[in-house]
Amino acid sequence: MSRATRTVIIGSRVGLHARPASLFVQAVAATGHTVIITTASGDTADGASILSVLGLGVAHGTSIELSVEGDDADTVADQLTAMLASDLDAS
């Protein structure tokens, strides 16, 4: 099992709240990987838990660290990082 870490700036204009958080959590669950989000202040959240992610209160433009553990962690980390960097609230 491999591990990958990425730093990403949240692109969604509302941050990781409501719809963007839900889309991210669904994407994490679909990977089957363990994903941990860490804020600059050291708060962490399980990427597969909507309540945990919402509890971080991550705003637009905030830099977070994404840690992915599982087979092909680099590819999954790249995909999730690209997702977080985009505006998930845009339709």
Catalytically annotated residues: 17
Rounded Cα gap, residues 80 and 66, in angstroms: 8
CA distance 34 to 17: 20
Kindly report the CA angle at 9 between 68 and 46, in degrees rounded to 5?
A: 35
Smallest Cα–Cα separation from 87: which of 7, 26, 11, 9?
11
